[in-house]
Amino acid sequence: MLQAGASARPVSGFAAVHVYTHGLSKQAKWALNGNFIPIKASNFTQDDVAVYAYFQAALYSANITWQWYDPTGQLYSNRTTQAQCQASPCTFVQGLTLAGTGIYPAPAATKYGLWRLVVLANGYALYSDVFSVNPVITEEDSWNFNVTQSTPAVVHGRLTVTIHPNNQTWSTYRIYMPYGANFTSFDAASNRTLMVSSYNESMPGSVVVNFGGARADGYRFTLGFDLVYGLNGVNGYLGVGYSFRWVDEPYSRPVPDARPIPETFMINLPRGSTFVDLIGINSMNLNRILRGESQPSISFGVTLAPHQRFGWAILYRDYSWANSHVQPVTATMAGLNYAQKQPLPVFPITLGGMSLWSGVMSVLILIASEAVSPLYGRTGLLLNRKRLRIAALLLITVFIIATASQLIISQQPVPSAATTTGR
């Protein structure tokens, strides 16, 4: 490839278009004589204003097309301009906006990785260039949630922030935390207390930490708070299933903020609880690490994308509250339905059936015994009245025992509903 000012042979071309030099620059600056002054680069950050592509060519007239392909290979931008050059060679410049000069950066600033530029003239490829767009990390977050009690919920949180301010001008930190209360903050290195302001009236949920002056790169502080909401009981009235849900909305961070934030999370569940599952919001897979048995702790890390909603929900079981609030409840059955249905050992009959059978049989035998009595004349029946009376007495005894058993059983708590827990 020949540089600007080289003679005769072009780098590439077709028909009446001859390219002598091309490249990428971090600025678009022109000299007094009209020559383009590039700052050549192939690596850009999302804080750069734009990526300026340029080439020097000899041509009379052509339709120049600039095609920008993002790291996924998708066509991000396609621009065509009419180019004319009366006195060759001429320099042509086109830009891809990154941070720009306004409040909000362009979407290209959040597409990190290797880009490709293809330049065409009248539909024919002239050349291509590749470059990278890299993220700028200005904040790293570490979250720690300690769930000490599930019902009523008692959760304390700590957010440890490491900032990388530009030009040491970051003297305060603001975050939107409507789910927090009782905020405290201190310097991580010296444990010096930092002033925390909560704007519950003018800006409800907004919290500002004052550093007391501009801080250098790598300054770290911790913000402590009590969780107001986010932990809820689920799945049943016994109070043993819980969901701990946390969400970071795009508006939670200072605006503008197009930079990614690496985050780590540590959630300590109550002692004696059981971890069930971890579900991510706008995240397909969270590579969690589960530690501990008597007191589970879950840790994982993500990179929070700019202007993207992210969160997670942890499902777990905790029987400690239910076990400490057991209230025995005696349930007396109405009537003898439950007692009558109790089966008897060995005999294929229930307690109610035995009571009915013995009662009926004892009455029949007593009637038969009286029917053969001498008081009623001779009947022609040869029966032993003494044995009949003994059998009748035995059946009456069985009837009395069966009936008494039903009454006793009916006054006992039903085994399946003997104990319940109240909330």
pLDDT for the residue numbered 418: 39
Structure token pair of residue 376: 């009623």
Residue 251 has pLDDT above 60, yes or no: yes
In the chain, pLDDT over 90 holds for what percent of residues?
Answer: 44
Q: Is the dihedral of CA 99, 101, 103, 106 positive or negative?
A: negative
**C-alpha distances in angstroms, 352 versus 66, 361, 362, 400?**
94, 14, 16, 12
Whole-number average pLDDT of the chain: 81
Q: How confident is the model at residue 416 (pLDDT cuts 50, 70, 90)?
A: very low
CA distance 200 to 188: 26
Contact 137, 262 (CB under 8 A): yes
Three-state secondary structure of 186-214: EECCCCCECEEEEECCCCCCEEEEECCCC
> Which residue in 110, 107, 104 sits closest to 256, CA to CA?
104
pLDDT for the residue numbered 344: 61
Contact 58, 9 (CB under 8 A): no
For 270-311, write each residue's pLDDT tens digit.
998 999 999 998 876 788 999 988 899 999 999 888 878 889
